[in-house]
Amino acid sequence: MTGEGDRDRNRAAEREEILSVDGVSVSLSGREVLRDVSFRICAGEFTGLIGSNGAGKTTLFRVILGLQAASAGSVKVAGRARSRRNPMIGYVPQKFLLDPDMPLRARDLVGLGLDGHRFGISRPSRARRELVDEMLAAVDAQAFADARIGTLSGGEQQRVLIAHALISRPRLLLLDEPLANLDLPSGQEVVALLARIAAEQGIAVFISAHEMNPLLPVMERIVYLVGGRAASGTTEQVVRTEVLSELYGREVEVLHIHGRVLVVAGPGDDPEAGHEQHGPLVGVQIVQ
């Protein structure tokens, strides 16, 4: 993975568009969950999907994975229309905590990432074992490779899941709220690991979170979701008072304090106002 040729390929791949979402809208039982969402993600980029609970983050992921139909718009993965079981996408779902009684070693779960969709029982082979070992090493999980997955800590389980997602050599890695159940140091570890994977393997990492601060050190681009509408661009372009006020449909203020970003309601703002104002501000987007 570290040969000259690979590095050249990774550099060339950096400009390649891996995910393009164009005007996607989704309605679930009559409620519009996503509205005219558009953005692009390129190879090797670390992108954050930021939004509060219910903003539509998981729905957007489900649309990208092909598990949820969009009522309008299109999604393309590496230039092709997305399909079910797209080996180009690796996925780590939300709130994944396994029962300690589950008879499954960390390495078994990683192996299922390779051939879990195939029928029958997997035949052990040297190539398969070496690939699993390589993936476990890539996420620093060798130490607990043979432990039952449910006995591992939240951060360790996340790393094993990332290896599970990476083993099929995806171009795009989707992670749904991977930091939600982690303490601060474990969260930082996972974020650093993902940034390394994006840089070294040229994989586009797309990670959702309700809080942007843990991602700020490594996040190159941001997709900011409010009530199903999105603004996207570099962090500097999007996380600004004017842009977010327009997105929220009310006055908010972006404050920078000790390297952290806070989005607070603007002065004299009516807290009720944000709920109904979605009308004229459809599909706010910053084009680079």
Partner 1 sequence: MSHFLVPVFETGFFTSATVQTAVLVGATVPLVAAAVGVFTVMRGQSFAGHALGDIGTTGGSGAFLVGVGPLWGFVAISIVAAAAMEMIGIQRPRGRDLATGIVLGAALGLAALFLYLDATYHNTTGATVTILFGSIFTIAGSTTPAIVLLSVMVVAIVAVLYRPLLLSSVSAELAAARGIPVRAVGALYLLALAIAVALAAMTIGAILSTALLIGPAAAALRFTRRPGTAMLAAGAIGVGATWLGIVLAYDSYYWPPVGHGWPVSFFVVTIILVLYLLAGLPQLWQARTRSASAGITREPVAAGDR
Residues binding partner 1 (CB under 8 A): 65, 67, 84-86, 89, 91, 93-94, 96, 98, 101-105, 108-109, 112, 115-122, 146-148, 161, 164
SS3 181: coil
- Look-up of token digits 């230039």: 79
Distance CA 248, CA 246 (A): 6
Query: In angstroms, what is the minimal distance from the CB of 123 to partner 1?
Result: 11
- Look-up of token digits 């372009």: 237
Please provide the DSSP assignment of 53-100 as one string. Answer: TTSSHHHHHHHHHTSS--SEEEEEETTEE--SS-TTEEEE-SS----T
DSSP 148: B
Distance CA 31, CA 194 (A): 34
Query: In angstroms, what is the minimal distance from the CB of 147 to partner 1?
Result: 8
Query: In angstroms, what is the minimal distance from the CB of 61 to partner 1?
Result: 9
Query: In angstroms, what is the minimal distance from the CB of 253 to partner 1?
Result: 37
Distance CA 168, CA 170 (A): 6
Nearer to partner 1, 23 or 93 (CB): 93
Under 8 Å between Cβ of 165 and 173: yes
Nearer to partner 1, 33 or 226 (CB): 33
Nearer to partner 1, 40 or 82 (CB): 82
Nearer to partner 1, 8 or 146 (CB): 146
Write the CB contacts of 137 (distance below 8 Å, at least 6 apart in sequence): none
**Cα 116-121-125 angle, rounded to 5 deg:** 90
Query: In angstroms, what is the minimal distance from the CB of 110 to partner 1?
Result: 12
Query: In angstroms, what is the minimal distance from the CB of 77 to partner 1?
Result: 13
Nearer to partner 1, 89 or 239 (CB): 89
Query: In angstroms, what is the minimal distance from the CB of 152 to partner 1?
Result: 12
Nearer to partner 1, 182 or 284 (CB): 182
Phi, psi of 147 (to 5 degrees): -85, 155
Distance CA 265, CA 272 (A): 11
Query: In angstroms, what is the minimal distance from the CB of 252 to partner 1?
Result: 33
| Distance, CA of 169 to chain centre | 16
Nearer to partner 1, 55 or 161 (CB): 161
Write the CB contacts of 91 (distance below 8 Å, at least 6 apart in sequence): 61, 65, 165, 173, 174, 175, 176
Nearer to partner 1, 31 or 118 (CB): 118
